[in-house]
Amino acid sequence: MTAAQPTAGVSPLDLLGVDHLLGEDERDIQDTVRRFVDDRVRPHLADWYESGLDGGAARELAREAGALGLMGMHLDGYGCAGTNAVSYGLACMELEAGDSGVRSLVSVQGSLAMYAIRTFGSEEQKQRWLPGMAEGSLIGCFGLTEPDFGSNPAGMRTRARRDGDDWVLDGTKMWITNGSIADVAVVWARIEDPADGDGQGAVRGFLVPAGTPGFTAGEVTRKLSLRASVTSELVLDGVRLPADAVLPEVASLRGPLSCLNEARFGITFGALGAARDCLHTAVDYARSREVFDRPLASFQLTQAKLADMTLELQKGFLLAMHLGRLKDAGDVEPRQVSLGKLNNVREALDIARECRTILGASGITLEYPALRHANNLESVLTYEGTSEVHQLVVGQALTGESAFT
Amino acid sequence: MKIVALVKHVPDATAERTFDDADHTTDRTGVDGLLSELDEYAIESALTVADGGDAEVVALTMGPSGAADAIKKALQMGADSGVHISDDALHGSDAPATARVLAAALRRIGDVDLVLTGMASTDGGMSVVPAMLAEHLDLAHVGFVGEFSVDDGTVRCRRDGDTASESVEAALPAIVSVTDQINEPRYPSFKGIMAAKKKPVETLSLADLDIDPSTVGLAAATSVVDEVTKRPERTQGEIVTDEGDGGTRLVEYLAAQKFV
């Protein structure tokens, strides 16, 4: 038997012609980010992953991303590009086709820190921080998660109390992307004394500039995932802030949770970028790698893997696009975004692992992206709401029963 | 001041490029077109001048309808307006005809202080159009420019040759062709991408430029492509097995190929 003459391979997403779902601006923005990632990100990824992304490189990358318009791109005004949500999703996909850590830098800046200031900040706060953050010269981080409170942010121990006109913050925030390179941290804290306003138990957001006495950020090292991203612990030890440091427009967990919903939306697209990169690599590798004197791609088991992965990638993209169009129409619900994040990250992780098997031993090196992406996606699976939490969100929507506690 | 950047829409150099079977012109179907990469340096140069002062940047192209993409890319990068010369009669035009048409368009645009071009197109690669343009318009042309500045009606250039760099000055208006070493072209920003659609693009026909269609196009070309032969497939390299004389044999090979 002779293997059929190989024809030119079709790119996994081209197979379905999903480009037809995109408008001209959306395609041009996607192409621009893809080129940016190929030129400015991809050549450095192995080094960043091997040695960790240092602060200088992260700042340079942030400035370049800012010049493009990536920072807070779907927000309006204050120097932000003001694109639609689908364009933001596509940009996340291209960034994460490079590396989830690079996408995280942009997600946290735009969807968490900038979105919080844009949505809940005062005019003065927006003027002070957003233009610099949009151009990437200022970096923001977002402190909600604590060492003992991840899926249960309501249990947070970080406290804010009033002292005269000032606020004083005490507590610890953990797993904070961009933390130790940030110029400003959006920190969420609980109000303890009802006399401090908003009632006991209210959760308020505070803008904490880097260098504020009592505020320190230590980098988390020895990571096996998201190595091309800065992860930190924030310590707030009697941090004294002026009265105007509080975000005035929200006084409950609705604030940080709505920010997370923005970031999750981007991840729904982003994770597919990592999967697509793995799949491209696996297809190319299978076509050129010979085993038993035949291309690996000519084996039925390999083709079955590739076909199934392509199917999941395309289903995930259609899901993401649907959510994007809903979001642009202004009526996407958080539980719908949960569906997207749950499915697409889970499938992306499966695809990355499966691609690794096609690459064999080569797949464990930094010469190929599969295991780097798979390791990154392990973090993406649990951050911004774990898969389990998103299952419970969907379960509650279906049954009316809350099973969180 | 008014700066015109000449841009060309070319077949993607990373794809397989072919000639049309019938008339041996570049086959533009079945291959993605894009803005010639070397022209991005000209646009970046124009935008850099504009960033530093009060200047208007116009992107000018000649080509079929798809060439509007080259204008769009220039507008996305930051050019203010575009002019697209599109006419079926232009199909197959050679460099002299192209230069004549572009010269007419530049006269029509009017009050042009500086024309910037790349060092060559990435398809034809002849590098002669800017010099021909200069003759038509009676302007100075400085080629292979690796650095320039505009000041007080003068453009001061560093022209990079193989063995020496020369400092050349020309009075404006002038035509300057820049190399791919002059700058790092910017990416279109998202704001630029969204704003580009609202920028004016004028489409001109040969009639608009008062050019007789019989003087351009394939039939009027001063040179004719008789036949086209595909470059032979790359042959497998020669493998030298080291039997103690590997180094010597490598040097012999390099010497035979006149590399050393």
- The ipTM, to two decimals, is 0.89
Dihedral (CA of B208, B211, B212, B218) sign: negative
Q: Are A285 and A355 in contact (CB under 8 A)?
A: no
Whether residues A85 and A18 fall in one domain: yes
Domain-located, residue A126: yes
Distances (CA, A) of B54 to A320, B1, B51, B81, B200: 44, 7, 8, 15, 19
Measured from the Cβ of residue A253, the count of other Cβ atoms closer than 10 Å reads 17
Distances (CA, A) of B10 to A157, B13, B69, B124, B159: 61, 8, 10, 9, 26
Q: Which of A207, A237, A252 is the last residue of a domain?
A: A252
Q: Which of A186, A218, A252 is the last residue of a domain?
A: A252
Judge whether B254 is closer than 8 Å to chain A, CB to CB. Answer: no
Q: pLDDT by residue (tens digit) across B211-224?
A: 999 999 999 999 88
Band (pLDDT 50/70/90 cuts) for residue A3 is very low
**Contact across the interface for A32 and B191, Cβ inside 8 Å:** no
Superfamily of domain B2-220: HUPs (3.40.50.620)
Whether residues A150 and A195 fall in one domain: yes
Q: Report percent pLDDT > 70 for chain A.
A: 97
Judge whether A156 is closer than 8 Å to chain B, CB to CB. Answer: no
57-76 in A: which are within 8 Å (CB) of B? 67-70, 73
How many Cα atoms are found within 13 Å in the side-chain-facing hemisphere of A89?
28
Beta strands A184-191 and A203-209, pairing class:
antiparallel
Whether residues A155 and A197 fall in one domain: yes
**Contact across the interface for B187 and A36, Cβ inside 8 Å:** yes
Q: What is the DSSP letter of A3?
A: P
CATH number at residue A95: 1.10.540.10
Higher local confidence (pLDDT), A283 or B32: A283
**Contact across the interface for A67 and B189, Cβ inside 8 Å:** yes
- Inform me whether the pLDDT recorded for A6 exceeds 50: no
Domain-located, residue A1: no
How many Cα atoms are found within 13 Å in the side-chain-facing hemisphere of A115?
22
- Inform me whether the pLDDT recorded for B3 exceeds 60: yes
**Contact across the interface for A81 and B76, Cβ inside 8 Å:** no
Judge whether A84 is closer than 8 Å to chain B, CB to CB. Answer: no
Whether residues A246 and A293 fall in one domain: no
pLDDT of residue A4: 41
Whether A384 sits among the annotated catalytic residues: the reply is yes
Q: pLDDT by residue (tens digit) across A161-190?
A: 999 999 999 999 999 999 999 999 999 999
- Inform me whether the pLDDT recorded for A196 exceeds 90: no
Chain A residues in contact with B190 by the CB 8 A cut-off are 29, 32, 68-70, 73, 81, 83, 87
Interface test with A, best of B14, B184, B190 (most A CBs within 10 A): B190
CATH number at residue A386: 1.20.140.10
Band (pLDDT 50/70/90 cuts) for residue A396 is very high
How far apart are the C-alpha atoms of A177 and B226, rounded to whole Å? 63
How far apart are the C-alpha atoms of B195 and B213, rounded to whole Å? 35
Judge whether B35 is closer than 8 Å to chain A, CB to CB. Answer: no
Higher local confidence (pLDDT), B83 or A15: B83
**Contact across the interface for A81 and B186, Cβ inside 8 Å:** no
- Inform me whether the pLDDT recorded for A7 exceeds 70: no
Task: Report how many domains make up chain A.
Answer: 3
Whether residues A18 and A115 fall in one domain: yes
Q: Which of A217, A252, A287 is the last residue of a domain?
A: A252
Q: Are A290 and A382 in contact (CB under 8 A)?
A: no
Q: Are A117 and A130 in contact (CB under 8 A)?
A: yes
Q: Of the listed A378, A384, A388, A401, which one is catalytic?
A: A384
Judge whether A35 is closer than 8 Å to chain B, CB to CB. Answer: yes
Q: Is the peptide bond before B173 cis (omega within 30 degrees of 0)?
A: yes
Average pLDDT over residues A209-237: 97
pLDDT of residue A197: 67
- Inform me whether the pLDDT recorded for A1 exceeds 80: no
Domain-located, residue A4: no
Average pLDDT over residues B129-142: 97
How far apart are the C-alpha atoms of B59 and B79, rounded to whole Å? 7
pLDDT of residue A199: 65
User: C-alpha angle A331/A341/A384, rounded to 5°?
Assistant: 100
How far apart are the C-alpha atoms of A343 and A339, rounded to whole Å? 6
CA dihedral A360, A365, A366, A370 (to 10 degrees): 30
- Inform me whether the pLDDT recorded for A13 exceeds 90: no
Q: pLDDT by residue (tens digit) across A268-284?
A: 999 999 999 999 999 99
Residue A343, classed as helix, strand or coil, is helix
- Nearest-CA distance A365 → chain B (Å): 28
How far apart are the C-alpha atoms of B249 and B243, rounded to whole Å? 10
Domain-located, residue A191: yes
Domain ranges, residue A236? 141-252
How far apart are the C-alpha atoms of B222 and B237, rounded to whole Å? 40
Q: pLDDT by residue (tens digit) across A36-87?
A: 999 999 999 999 999 988 899 999 999 999 999 999 999 999 999 999 999 9
Q: Across the interface, which of B76, B186, B191 has its CB nearest the CB of A28?
A: B76
- Inform me whether the pLDDT recorded for A230 exceeds 80: yes
**Contact across the interface for A32 and B186, Cβ inside 8 Å:** no
Band (pLDDT 50/70/90 cuts) for residue B24 is confident
